[in-house]
A and B are shown apart, each in its own frame.
Chain A
Amino acid sequence: MVRVETPAAALRGADRFRVAQAATLELRGVAKNFGGLRAVDGVSLTIEADEVLGIAGPNGAGKTTLFDVVTGLTKASEGDVVLDGSSIAGDSVHRRCQRGMARTFQQPTVAASLTVYENVALGCSFGQPRRHWAGVDDLKEFAEFVLELTGLADKAELVAGPLTVFDKKRLMLASAIATGPRVLLLDEPFGGLNPDEIDETLRLIRRVREFGVAIVCIEHVMRALVQLATRVAVMHHGAVFFEGAPQEMMQDERVISVYLGRSAAKPPARGGDGGAA
């Protein structure tokens, strides 16, 4: 059994997690075409280490595709992705992860046949910038810290496949944290969760932020976004048409009209805004 025996271990793990060198992520005119469809249409954004950038926009706006391009899952048609001043556009997905970029997926995606602990250990063993883990103990220490942080410590030995959506989403986040990211990209972390779970996820993301991790967060749920983000970008038809503080966004005419004239404070139910796409 994995037991989180001592808070001391978790503390040492926490030391490891603290980001030593803050990262800057820059997107320069990123575009992605699927055949005739321009899913991402020239997006330029800069994410600094001390901020949480929220990305909003109706379904089909190209948010997930933007993440796919940034993390290397699909190749950009145009533009450049720059991490700490050097381009990572030519790097593979796993290289980008090792350079300090981790993401979660919109669908709760984990390694279903691995246990919770193994999922986290996977991130620790393979996602670190350099394989600087002195040994299994060191890995274990950090893994336990991550499990503790995400509230999964008592589920460490369970197989991930049958977990609930909330646990899967937390695990997906945990294994991302386990890679020791400097930039964390979250694709709808609150989607499909109930209010309590949303609050807990909010707390968790704030904790992660305290370690100096830059965060980009796609979200439909405006309430969460407004509470979390320091800056917001709103996408429509693949392009960012609004960038600013969360409070400004709520008043912006264009944002409100993109959400079909409904109140921005009460965004449309997920999946029900097909007309906006």
Chain B
Amino acid sequence: MTDLVAILISTIVLGSIYGLVAIGMTLIYGILRVLDMSQGSMVMAGGFVGWGLLVSAGTSPLLALAAAFAIAFLLGVATQLVSVQPLLGRSGIDFEMITFITTFAVAMVIQNVALEIFGPRQRDVPPVIGGTVDVYRGVNISYQSILMAAVSIGLMLMLGIFLTRSRYGMAIRAVAQDISAARLMGVPIRWMFPLVMGLASALAGVAGVFLGAQLFASPNAGDLPLLEALIVVIFGGLGSLPGTIYAAYAIGLIQSTVSVLIATTWSLPILYAVILVVLVLRPHGLAGRPSEARL
């Protein structure tokens, strides 16, 4: 029973944070057809912002989160402008593959600039908020985790409301569904793309502050979240927002179960094994639909 509660709580916490990182990747893929490999470095950047503000400057946690959001947003916009925007509409290239490589290159740059500035040392980021609460016979949950889940869920809800209710959000969804129709209706497409990538990166940046506290801030702190987010987006079918959220919690559940019942080290390999099986059985992801060749 304690195992069950532990798994349940861990699922919600992990799933929420995965969702926060992965939803950005899905959003970018759905709109730009770019699998953004720089999202991991946004998480990493968020971690360092959290460390810098909370430890060195001693600012309030809320400010740290807001700063991470803003800085990652700018980084995301910059990334889009150098690695995706110049390739838009270029003929004779495999756009998805080329941007896979260019965003990867940006990640390389960001990560190694961080290495040059901060060095390879792992930095402890203090929890945004301290203390734990005993939920059920020795199963503890930290306030930090509760806040993390709450902020993640809150941000995902806000994103949902933004996409379905606001002018810009509806423009973004219109672009995702039919780019030429959206253009005809006067959506300024060129400006949608950096905005979307900035927004997605900002979410990853916020996740980075929490993850930094969970683990460390270090130049390669983004690698693991990136790999986990990749698993989530494949599992959820690239480009499907609801699919991604389900997948985030499903992956969280698998990982929590493996961690609690077997060992934490095995959770990622087992996830990858699950993904291999999923891709072999459903070559286009769980929710994705095959598009057949037309000649």
Contact = CB atoms under 8 A, between A and B. Distances in A.
Interface of A: 34, 64, 73-74, 105-107, 109
Contacts, number: 9
A105 B292 contact: no
B292 A74 contact: yes
B280 interface: no
9 contacts: A34-B292, A64-B294, A73-B292, A73-B293, A74-B292, A105-B295, A106-B295, A107-B295, A109-B295
Contacts of B292: 34, 73-74
Contacts of B295: 105-107, 109
A109 B295 CA distance: 7
Nearest to B289: A35
A34 B292 CA distance: 10
Interface string B44-87: 00000000000000000000000000000000000000000000
List of 9 A-B pairs having minimum Cβ-Cβ separation, nearest first = A105-B295, A107-B295, A109-B295, A74-B292, A106-B295, A73-B293, A64-B294, A34-B292, A73-B292
Contacts of A109: 295
Contacts of A73: 292-293
A109 B293 CA distance: 12
B134 to A, nearest CB: 52
A34 B268 CA distance: 37
B246 to A, nearest CB: 22
A139 to B, nearest CB: 26
Considering residues B292, B293, B294, B295, which has the most beta carbons from chain A within 10 angstroms of its beta carbon?
B295
Interface of B: 292-295
Contacts of B293: 73
B283 to A, nearest CB: 14
A73 B292 CA distance: 9
Contacts of B294: 64
A241 B294 CA distance: 25
B94 to A, nearest CB: 14
B250 to A, nearest CB: 25
A132 to B, nearest CB: 29
Nearest to A67: B295
Contacts of A34: 292
A107 B294 CA distance: 9
B52 to A, nearest CB: 51
A64 B294 CA distance: 9
A235 B292 CA distance: 22
Nearest to B293: A73
Contacts of A107: 295
A146 to B, nearest CB: 21
A273 to B, nearest CB: 19
A34 B294 CA distance: 13
A190 B293 CA distance: 22
Given A73-B292, A74-B292, A105-B295, 5 more contacts: A34-B292, A64-B294, A73-B293, A107-B295, A109-B295
A19 to B, nearest CB: 26
A236 to B, nearest CB: 20
A227 to B, nearest CB: 26
A69 to B, nearest CB: 11
Nearest to B295: A105
A34 B293 CA distance: 13
Contacts of A106: 295
Nearest to A106: B295
A64 B293 CA distance: 12
Contacts of A64: 294
Nearest to A103: B295
B289 to A, nearest CB: 8
A136 to B, nearest CB: 30
A272 B83 CA distance: 39
A57 to B, nearest CB: 17
Nearest to A109: B295
Nearest to B292: A74
Nearest to A187: B295
Contacts of A105: 295
Nearest to A73: B293
Nearest to A68: B292
A194 to B, nearest CB: 22
A34 B295 CA distance: 16
